[in-house]
Structure 1
Amino acid sequence: MCCNRIMAVSVLAPSADLAPLIRAFVHAEIRESHTQILIPETGIVMALRFAGEAEFVDGFHVGHFAKAAVAGLAKVVRRVRATENGGVILVLFREQGAARVFAAPLDQLHGTIVALENLTSSSHVARLQEKLASAHNAMMRVAVVESFLRERLRGVSFDPIVDAAVRAIHTRRGALRIAPLARKLGISHDRLQKRFRCVVGASPKQLASIIRFRHVLAIRRSDASFAQLAHSVGFCDQSHFIRDFRVFTGTSPADFFRTATFCPSFWDAQTSLGAGDRP
């Protein structure tokens, strides 16, 4: 648990039956109004606010978050401003996990944040929010969310080709070409793209870019130089690395790392709980 004067964050593992779908639950209680940096995820994220308000900040643009929202994969760092005395649960889905819950093609969510009621019954969402508001602690709220998810499980199986591709991309930490990967898997490049987008919510190349960016952040915590970072994640030169980094953050690596701060437990939830692996 990460606990300071600004917020308290708990990372909770899902129950065994939901572990193939969900990497972790992140339960955050906001004590003081602040802006939190959320690094890109490798799976769909469902955010359920049980107290307070929140808004996303994009340069000079500010947008309001629905109390229950679903965020698609995106090659961008998101900045969220939360009010004091607020609270939220983040459901970090595994790459194919959200496809077991939501029927809509997940590539339609790419780069967007939509209200949960756009994907399921608004009355069910209202009931979920009521139960979360009346729960007294993180464990109780996670139990409420797990019950909600179990009721919506769809009778579909994981795509084995997509699963193999996801594992290969994670193994290479995003530093691989997709066309040779498709040939190795015995499928055309276009067919892999279509199947991947439908159940992951992004193309294989987009997922690879996200994984590589996350690897950059993990290495940077060990104080590697930018030249070392560029080389270790497969960039041919530092200038290419800096251009790609700007796509995600809107700023240079030097500026980003000088101003960005991460709660350790929140970071662990986003990086260390078995991304890309399933029991």
Structure 2
Amino acid sequence: MKFSWVNHSTTPMKVRTLLSEHGVTRTLLKKVKFHGGAILVNDQPVLAIHMLYGGERVTMVTPAEVANEHLAVSPLPIHILYEDRDFLILNKPAGVASVPAHALPDNTLANRVKGYYRERGYANEVVHIATRLDKDTSGIVLFAKHRFAHGIIDHQLKAHTMRKMYLAVVDGVLTTDHGWFDQPIGRAADSFVKRAVTPDGKPSLTEYWVVKRLGNKTVVRVRLHSGRTHQIRVHFAAAGHPLLGDDLYGGPLDQGIQRQALHCMQLQFDDPFLSRTLTIFAPLPADIAHLIETTGSKVD
């Protein structure tokens, strides 16, 4: 693949400096240098230390990527919310794992994406999953379509500039319209899977807004300011308001939903390839919509 930029600076700089300013990592530069890529200035091959003085067109040609032969191909469908040359954004249904595991080897979202790439005849079948959701959480999952895009997203995730918004239905009534949970999260002492608020856990920050109060339940919008495993589920459970249907964290199981009532509804990030902010929405799944519509009549 080819990516090009015009150097608008009149201050002398090396090519690698300009590339770095556009999100090209040292790791990617090594791939370009040693695995069949190229760097061009005004269509002439150069090294990364080549000096620029202003007005040049710099092109990076990335080498071909080799797909993981151990990732099986699935013909099962995917729900596409957005796709372009660089990104594929899907609406994941509840009950589908994001990536393969021992018990779920070949019907995950990653397997389906590889099947979709193959069906469409894409030259690059490497599956770069950039964001993930728990198996029983529905909503937006972002795939990068090449290693450069994946690196861009990784940087935004680490810098906490990506905005992910969730909708959840929790047990009990939250009396505060807007609040925060600022508690460290680590592994629960008695489980390999379960997480808990622990003194020696990693810093974790969750922000929420009340959308509706329905009887003894509350619909909330949630934003993650960190990305810990089960973060939303753990924080609300620790506050005495577990998600409806969340068996692992003590949520009530008699409310008409067979999984945790959690949906990733919005994703916003900077797309440097199109020089714009991209905002994607995922419609509410039927089970959560039904839960909200049929639960009580008191709405604040």
Q: Same fold (TM over 0.5)?
A: no
Q: How high is the TM-score relative to the length of structure 1?
A: 0.29
Determine which structure has the larger strand proportion and give its number: 2
Larger radius of gyration: 2
Determine which structure has the larger helix proportion and give its number: 1
Q: Which has the higher contact order (CA 8 A, sep 6+)?
A: 1
